[in-house]
Amino acid sequence: MTAGRRIRVRGQVQGVGFRPFVWQLAHRMGISGEVLNDPEGVLIFAVGEHLDRFETGLLREAPPLARVEAVESTAHEFAATPDGFRIAASRGAGAETRIAPDAATCPACAAEIRNPAERRFGYAFTNCTHCGPRFTIVRSLPYDRARTAMAPFAMCPACRADYEDPADRRFHAQPIACRVCGPRLWLEAGGTEIAGDAIALASARLRAGEIVAIKGLGGFHLACDARNGTAIDRLRARKRRPRKPLALMGTLGMIRTHAAVSEADAARLADPAAPILLLRRSGEALPDTVAPGQRWLGWMLPYTPLHHLLLDAFGGPLVMTSGNLSGEPQVIGNDAARRKLSGFADAFLMHDRDILRRLDDGVERLLPSGPMILRRGRGRVPETLALPQGFADAPPVLAVGGQMKGALCLIKGGRALLSHHLGDLDEPLTWAEFLRAEADYAAVFDHHPQALACDLHPDYRSTLHAHARAAAEGLPLVEVQHHHAHLAAAMADAGWPRDGGKVAGIVLDGLGLGTDGTIWGGEVLLGDYLEAERIAHLTPAALPGGDAANREPWRNLLARLDAAEVAADTLLPGKPVALLLQAMRAGVNAPLSSSAGRLFDAVAAALGLVEGAQGFEGEAGMAVEALADEIEAAPYAFGADGPRIDPAPMIRALVADLATGRDRAEIAAAFQAGLARAFCIRARALVESGRAQAVALSGGCFQNARLLALCLRDLEGLRVLVHHRVPANDGGLALGQALVAAARLTAEGPP
pLDDT tens-digit map of 227-286:
999 999 999 999 999 999 999 999 999 999 999 999 999 999 999 999 999 999 999 999
Mapping DSSP onto H, E and C, the string for 564-618 reads: CCCCCCCCCCCCCHHHHHHHHHHCCCCCEECCHHHHHHHHHHHCCCCCCCCCCCC
Please tell me the distance from the alpha carbon of residue 146 to that of residue 153, in angstroms, as a whole number: 10
CATH of domain 520-524+538-722: 3.30.420.40
Residues carrying CATH 3.30.70.100, the chain: 2-87
167 has pLDDT over 70 = yes
In sequence order, what are the beta bridge partners of 524? 506, 536
Going from the C-alpha of 160 to that of each of 146, 171, 172, 248, the distances in angstroms are 14, 9, 9, 37
Please tell me the distance from the alpha carbon of residue 428 to that of residue 276, in angstroms, as a whole number: 27
Please tell me the distance from the alpha carbon of residue 459 to that of residue 62, in angstroms, as a whole number: 47
- H or E element at residue 371: strand 370-375
Cβ within 8 Å of residue 579, ≥6 positions away: none
Residues carrying CATH 3.90.870.30, the chain: 185-351
In sequence order, what are the beta bridge partners of 67? 12
Please tell me the distance from the alpha carbon of residue 601 to that of residue 607, in angstroms, as a whole number: 10
SS3 83: coil
Residues carrying CATH 3.30.420.360, the chain: 384-494+729-748
CATH of domain 2-87: 3.30.70.100
Q: How many secondary structure helices (H) and strands (E) does the chain include?
A: 22, 31
pLDDT of residue 144: 83
pLDDT of residue 98: 67
pLDDT of residue 751: 46
Backbone angles phi, psi at 138, to 5 degrees: -90, 135
- The 8-class DSSP code of residue 370 comes to E
Concatenate the DSSP letters of all residues of 95-123 into one string: -SS-BPPPBPPPHHHHHHTT-TTSTTTT-
pTM of the model as a whole: 0.93
Q: Quick one: average pLDDT of 460-466?
A: 98
Please tell me the distance from the alpha carbon of residue 555 to that of residue 602, in angstroms, as a whole number: 8
Higher pLDDT pick, 166 / 430: 430
80 has pLDDT over 80 = yes
pLDDT of residue 81: 87
pLDDT tens-digit map of 134-161:
999 998 777 789 989 999 999 999 999 9
Concatenate the DSSP letters of all residues of 525-578 into one string: EEE-SS-EEEEEEEPPEE-TTTTHHHH-HHHHHHHHHHHTT---TTTSTTS-HH
27 has pLDDT over 90 = yes
pLDDT of residue 171: 87
The mean pLDDT value of the chain amounts to 95
Higher pLDDT pick, 368 / 400: 400
Cβ within 8 Å of residue 733, ≥6 positions away: 399, 401, 402, 407, 455, 482, 485, 486, 489
380 has pLDDT over 90 = yes
Q: Quick one: average pLDDT of 369-398?
A: 95
Going from the C-alpha of 697 to that of each of 419, 421, 717, the distances in angstroms are 22, 21, 15
As a whole-number percent, the residues of the chain with pLDDT over 70 amount to 99
Residues carrying CATH 3.30.420.40, the chain: 520-524+538-722
97 has pLDDT over 80 = no
Domain 185-351 coded CATH 3.30.1360.200: no
pLDDT tens-digit map of 555-573:
999 999 999 999 998 899 9
596 has pLDDT over 60 = yes
- The 8-class DSSP code of residue 731 comes to G
pLDDT of residue 611: 87
pLDDT of residue 94: 58
384-494+729-748: which CATH architecture?
2-Layer Sandwich (3.30)
Report whether 96 contacts 70 (CB < 8 A).
Answer: no
